[in-house]
Amino acid sequence: MASRTVLVIFGTRPEAIKMFPVVRALADRAGITVRTCVTAQHRGLLDQVLSIADLVPDIDLDLMEPGQTLDRLTARLLTALGGVMDRETPDRVIVQGDTATAMAGALAAYYRKVPVAHVEAGLRSGDIYHPWPEEINRRIVAPIADLHFAPTQTAAAALARENITDGVHVTGNTVIDALHWTGARIAADPLMAAGLDTTLARFAGKRIVLVTTHRRENFGDGMAAIARAIARIAARDDVAVLFPMHPNPNVASVMDAILGDAPNVARIAPLDYPHFIRALGACDLALTDSGGVQEEAPAFGKPVLVMRETTERPEGVAAGTARLVGTDEDRIVSEVFTLLDDKGAYAAMARAHNPFGDGHAAKRIAGIVADAFGL
Ligand code: UDP
């Protein structure tokens, strides 16, 4: 039988982290030709991951444009991805998660009646404005896809509530595959993550709070409240804040204005994945509005305080290792101080567990894709 072509599409840092294990697993399957297309919706952050994962995309659309509106981004993605599909004529398209790239990729495939598989299917916050616009992006992919790779039973149940039960497979989240693969590489070559040596030496003896923030719905007042909270947390002598900063100007401008050069705050450039994993291992707790960090921190037994009102990843909250704290300045400060000062409260949240996967999700996904081709 002729080889079947799978077009794997992604464009942002989290998609690349979660897709590279899938690309590798598909490439290991006889009878499947993998073609990778990056939209480069986030150029620099995407390239960091491509380089660590030794992944050279077959097609690079380079569509990032500073300040472009969601309308323009979506229109450009749809047109460009449609063109790619016309040239590549894939037998299947695979998208990941909830980005504009995933939504436009699924839609362009649908317009050509090419079957779509959705990696990390079934995440729902139930609120179309949190996270915005991701909640709608992923809901648009769902009725188009014929294969839904739900990371957890909770995600599969969310799909069932939308009457999507055919083609749903609980595979685990591929982020845990990425974490294991990268962790093994760091263990073999610690120099891969040695760039943090100086900062961690400077913070020796202090409790480290790892901060990331980039959510669109937190821009403006939310970001200013987060900045003021960080300043109050870092005012303690026994605490240091490690803050790899997202390049979005809506984050940097506010942090510059409010945090300035606070001595206990290491505001650093976005870390590549091995360095970020090391940071997660080195911190005492994570304060974040990221989706991926909510999935990774439990694997390290690190408490996560989530600066959002809702989460589409309730598994950590249900297990007691994550807590939603929103973006109220006083609430953030008091939740962080409770974890730093109350040993019992800390111990209750600092339990290593892996509700999001066992590190073998990508292999399962590749097997199901091969089965769907009858290979
Ligand atoms: N991450 C990284 N370097 C950083 C911050 C985050 O490699 O400086 C990784 C992190 O490990 C996680 C992913 O980026 O896997 C999360 O991406 P982000 O928070 O940008 O997006 P979200 O997960 O919220 O969609």
| Catalytic site includes residue 358 | no
Rg (CA), the chain: 20
Ligand 1: atom nearest CA of 178 is 15
Instruction: Give the integer Cα–Cα distance in Å for 85 and 5.
Output: 11
Q: Do 200 and 334 share a domain, yes or no?
A: yes
pLDDT confidence of residue 263 = 86
User: How close is the Cα of 292 to the center of ligand 1, in Å?
Assistant: 6
Residues contacting ligand 1 via CB (< 6 Å):
13-14, 17, 175, 212, 214, 244, 270-271, 273, 276, 290-293, 296
Q: What is the pTM of this model?
A: 0.96
For the CA of 289, the nearest atom of ligand 1: 24
Q: How far is the CA of 263 from the centre of ligand 1 (A)?
A: 25
Residue 183 within any structural domain of the chain: no
Q: Does residue 271 share a domain with residue 365? A: no
Catalytic annotation present for 98 = yes
Asked if residue 178 belongs to a domain, the reply is no
| Count of domains for the chain | 2
8-34 mean pLDDT = 98
Residues in Cβ contact with 247 at an 8 Å cutoff, skipping those fewer than 6 apart: 44, 45, 269, 270
Q: Confirm whether 329 is a catalytic residue.
A: no
Alpha carbon distance 131, 45 (integer Å): 20
Residue 180 lies in a domain: no
What CATH number is associated with residue 344? 3.40.50.2000
Same domain, 223 and 271: yes
Q: Which residue has the tokens 């991926």?
A: 292
Residues 82, 141 within the same domain: yes
Residue 1 has pLDDT above 80, yes or no: no
Residue 67 pLDDT: 87
Give a yes or no: residue 179 inside a domain.
Answer: no
Is residue 148 flagged as an active site residue? no
User: Looking at the domain assignment, is residue 186 inside a domain?
Assistant: no
Of all protein residues, the one whose alpha carbon is nearest to atom 14 of ligand 1 is 14
pLDDT confidence of residue 103: 98
* Residue 48 within a domain: yes
Assess whether 122 and 228 both reside in one domain: no
* Atom number, ligand 1, closest to the C-alpha of residue 212: 5
Indicate if 218 and 346 belong to the same structural domain. Answer: yes
pLDDT digit string, tens, across residues 23-68:
999 999 999 999 999 999 889 999 999 999 999 999 999 999 988 9
User: Are 239 and 310 within one domain?
Assistant: yes
Same domain, 153 and 18: yes
Question: Is residue 237 situated within a structural domain?
Answer: yes
Same domain for 169 and 201? no
46 Cα–ligand 1 center, Å: 10
pLDDT, one tens digit per residue, over 304-342 is 999 998 999 999 999 999 999 999 999 999 999 999 999
> For the segment 244-294, what is each residue's pLDDT rounded down to a tens digit?
999 888 999 999 999 988 889 999 999 999 999 999 999 999 999 999 999
Q: Which position among 15, 91, 98, 272 bears the catalytic label?
A: 98
The 10s digit of each residue's pLDDT in 123-160 is 999 999 999 999 999 999 999 999 999 999 999 999 99
The three-state secondary structure class of 244 is: strand
Q: How far apart are CA 316 and CA 294, in angstroms?
A: 7
The yes-or-no answer on residue 135 being catalytic is no
Say whether both 210 and 153 belong to one domain: no
Task: Give Cα 336 to chain centroid, integer Å.
Answer: 23
Q: What is the pLDDT of residue 240?
A: 97
282 and 157, same structural domain? Answer: no
Q: Which of 91, 134, 295, 312 is catalytic?
A: 134
Catalytically annotated residue among 76, 124, 214, 275: 214
Whether 291 maps to a domain, the answer reads yes
Host domain of residue 242: 195-350
Residue 2 CA, ligand 1 centroid: distance in Å: 38
What per-residue confidence (pLDDT) applies to 18? 98
Candidates 42, 52, 250, 290: which one to mutate for ligand 1, based on the most atoms within 8 Å of Cβ?
A: 290
CA-to-CA distance for 331 and 263, rounded, in angstroms?
A: 23
42 is catalytic: no
Assess whether 84 and 153 both reside in one domain.
yes
